Structure 1
Amino acid sequence: MGAVSSQICNPFAAKKRYVVLMSGLSGAGKTSIQCRMKFGQFPEKICSYVSCIMEEIEFDAFGMTLIDIGASEKWRAQHVKQRHDAKILIYVVDCTDADRMEESRSELHQHLSEETMKGVKLLVLVSKREIPNGISDEMIIDRLKLRSIEDREWHMISTSAKTGMGISD
Structure 2
Amino acid sequence: MRQVLVLGLEGAGKSSVLHYISSEAAKDRTAPTQGFNSVQVSAEGFQIDLLELGGSQNLRFYWNQYLSQAHVLVFVVDSADEPGLPAARQELHWLLAEDPRLPLVVLANKQDKRDALSVAELHRELALHTLNGQRDFFLLPTSATHAALATAISIRRVRSLLVELLSQL
1:141 aligns with 2:123: yes
Farther-moved stretch of structure 1 (56-65 vs 82-91)? 56-65
SS at the partner of 2:155?
Answer: coil
2:109 pairs, out of 119, 123, 127, with 127
Q: CA deviation at 1:51?
A: 2.7
| Alpha-carbon distance between aligned partners in 1 of 2:62 and 2:116, rounded to the nearest angstrom | 33
Query: Counterpart in 1 of 2:143?
Result: 160
TM-score (norm 2): 0.79
Percentage identity across paired residues of the two chains: 25
The Cα shift of 1:62 comes to: 4.2
What is the rounded CA distance, in whole Å, between the counterparts of 1:74 and 1:25 in structure 2? Answer: 10
Aligned 8 A contact 1:51 1:75 in 2: no
Give CA deviations for 1:37-77 in whole Å, capped at 9, x if unaligned.
11113322222142311111223454311110233564653
1:84 equivalent in structure 2: 68
> Is 1:51 paired with 2:39?
no
Q: C-alpha distance in 2, partners of 1:134/1:57? A: 29
Contact 2:105 2:138 in 1 (8 A): yes
> CA RMSD of the aligned region, Å?
2.0
Does the 8 Å contact 1:127/1:161 carry over to 2?
yes
Count of residues in correspondence between the two structures: 150
The DSSP-based 3-state class of the residue aligned with 2:20 is helix
SS at match of 2:154: coil
Cα distance in structure 2, aligned partners of 1:78 and 1:97: 21
Per-residue Cα deviation, 1:58-107 (whole angstroms, up to 9, x for no partner): 23454311110233564653873x42221100000011111111111011
Counterpart code for 2:143 = S
Change (3 A) 1:147 1:36: same
User: Does the 8 Å CA contact 1:32/1:42 hold for their aligned counterparts?
Assistant: no
Preserved CA contact (<8 Å) 2:15 2:33:
no
Deviations 1:91-125 (A, max 9, x none): 000111111111110111111111xx231100001
What is aligned with 1:24? Answer: 8
Q: Does the Cα contact within 8 Å between 1:69 and 1:76 map onto a contact in 2?
A: no
Normalised to the residue count of structure 1, the TM-score between the two structures is 0.79
